[in-house]
Amino acid sequence: MLNFNLIDQALKSPLARILSWPHSPESYLEFLAPNVGGRAIKARVKAVNQQTARAVSLVLEPNHRWNSHQAGQYVTLTVSINGRRHSRCFTVSHVEDGCPVVTIQSREGEGDSQITSVSRWANESVWVGDTVEISAGAGDFVLPAKRPEHFLFIAGGSGITPVRALTDELVAEGYTGQIDILYYVPAKVDAIFLRHLEAVTEALPNIRLHLVCTREKAEGTALRGHFSEFHLASIGADLAKSAAYVCGPAALIDAVESHWQQAGHANRLTMERFQAAARPVAVEGDAQPVLFSDSNITSTAPGMTLLEAAEGAGLNPSYGCRQGICRTCTCRKTSGQVRDIRTGEISDAGEEDIAICVSVPVTPVTLAL
C-alpha cells in the first residue's frame, strides 16, 4: 500500500521542485492521479441519499489529507460546474461508515450564484463517483468542553444539519441531560432528518423534538407560526440554565438573538450564520488604488471587494465561500485601511491578515499577493 504521507514529503523536496520546473510537483501528480495529487483534500462522492424533495445528503470518501472534524463544524465544498469552480460552505451533518456527509437543500431565485449553483448541482446533477474538493473542518458551532444540564437547539430549514451533528455527538457519548430541539419548517414534508430525529427521541426520553410548521395547519396542540416567546414557554425552556444554539434563515437567527439579548442571556447563545455578505455600495473613498506587491500590479476597482479587484487584475487568489466564513482567501495587508462589508468596521492602517472576499479599500492598500 502506498504511503501518501511519504509521497507528500517527497514532493516538497528541493530535487522534486527542480525536476518539475516550471510547474509544481503537485500539479503533475494531480494530472496523473486526480484523487490524490494537488494540495487539496479530494473526495469521491460515495453515495447520494435523498432526504426530502429539496434536500440530499452526499456521502464523501476523502483522500489521505482529511483529518476528521468536530461535530457542528463545516467544510468548504468546491465543485466544477460547466467548467467553472464553485465553492460553498456546508456543515458535516453526520458520519456514515467513517465518511463525512454534507446535506444540501436546493435554493431557488437569484441570490448568491455560488449558493444557488452548488445547491442545484447537488440536487440535480451530482453522480456517484464524482470528485470534489473539501476543506478541513472549521467553525466554532461546537459543543462546550463542559456539558451543561440542558441544551436548547433552534433550527430552521437546512439549519438542522449542525443540530443533528451535535445531537448525535451527545447521544454517542451517553449524555443524560435534557435536549430540546425546536425545528421550524414550512411543512412537515420539508423536515430534513425527520425519521432520524423521531427515532432518537423515541429511544431516548431526555431528547424532545418540537416540530413547528410555519405554513401548514398545526395538528392538535402542536406549535405553529414563527419563533416567539410563546414557543419557548410552551416547551419549558429556561434560558438562564440552557446552552442555546441557533442555525437557520437570517430572520430566525435575528429574532432569537434579539430575544436572548433582551433576556440578558446573550452569552449563553451560539449562532451559526450561513448567508452571503451584503454587496458593498460604491461610495466616496471606495475608489482607492490597491497594490498587489508580490505581483507588482496596481488596480483601482470602485465598489469591488479586494478579491474581485485581484481577479479583475488577472490574479488568481485562493478563495472558498466568498462570504468571509472559511478564511481561504486570507491575505496579508501590509498597509492601508479596509472596510468589512458585513459589519462596516474599518481596519487599522498597519499589517494584518484579512479576508479579501469581504474587504473593500477605504484608503490606498498594499496586499502581499
Angle (CA) 350-351-355 rounded to 5° is 115
Among the listed residues 232, 227, 222, 251, the one whose alpha carbon sits nearest the alpha carbon of residue 150: 232
What are the Cα distances from residue 234, in Å, to 209, 210, 255? 13, 10, 17
The grid cell for 84 is 467553472
Within 10 A of 345 (CB to CB), how many other CB atoms are there?
Answer: 9
Helix axes 25-32, 4-11, angle to 10 degrees: 140
For the residues 247-255, what does the mean pLDDT come to?
94
Angle (CA) 329-60-327 rounded to 5° is 15
313-322 per-position pLDDT tens digit: 899 888 777 7
For the residues 70-78, what does the mean pLDDT come to?
92
For the residues 76-86, what does the mean pLDDT come to?
84
CA–CA separation, 190 and 333 (whole Å): 44
Contacts of 328 by beta carbon, 8 Å cutoff, 6+ apart? 76, 87, 135, 318, 319, 320, 321
The grid cell for 113 is 450564484
Contact 88, 46 (CB under 8 A): no
Question: How large is the greatest C-alpha to C-alpha distance in the chain, in angstroms?
Answer: 73
What is 150-272's CATH topology?
Rossmann fold (3.40.50)
What are the Cα distances from residue 19, in Å, to 15, 25, 38? 6, 8, 17
Residue whose grid cell is 441531560: 177
281-305 per-position pLDDT tens digit: 444 445 789 999 999 999 887 878 9
- pLDDT-above-90 percentage for the chain: 59
**pLDDT for position 209:** 97
What is 289-367's CATH topology?
Ubiquitin-like (UB roll) (3.10.20)
Coil, strand or helix: which one is 91? Answer: strand
Contacts of 49 by beta carbon, 8 Å cutoff, 6+ apart? 56, 57, 59
Task: Check residues 5 and 358 and name the one with the higher pLDDT.
Answer: 358
Q: What are the residues facing 172 on neighbouring strands?
A: none
CA–CA separation, 334 and 285 (whole Å): 19
End-to-end CA distance of the chain: 39
pLDDT beyond 60 at 25: no
pTM of the model: 0.73
Residue-range domain boundaries for the chain:
4-134, 150-272, 289-367
Phi, psi (rounded to 5 degrees) for 26: -65, -35
Domain 150-272 identical in fold to domain 289-367:
no
3-state secondary structure 55-71: EEEEEEEECCCCCCCCC
Q: What is the mean pLDDT of the chain?
A: 86
**pLDDT for position 280:** 45
pLDDT beyond 90 at 31: no
**Which superfamily, per CATH, for 4-134?**
Translation factors (2.40.30.10)
Cβ burial of 369 (10 Å; 0-12, 13-18, 19+) is buried
For the residues 210-234, what does the mean pLDDT come to?
87
Angle (CA) 139-143-145 rounded to 5° is 115
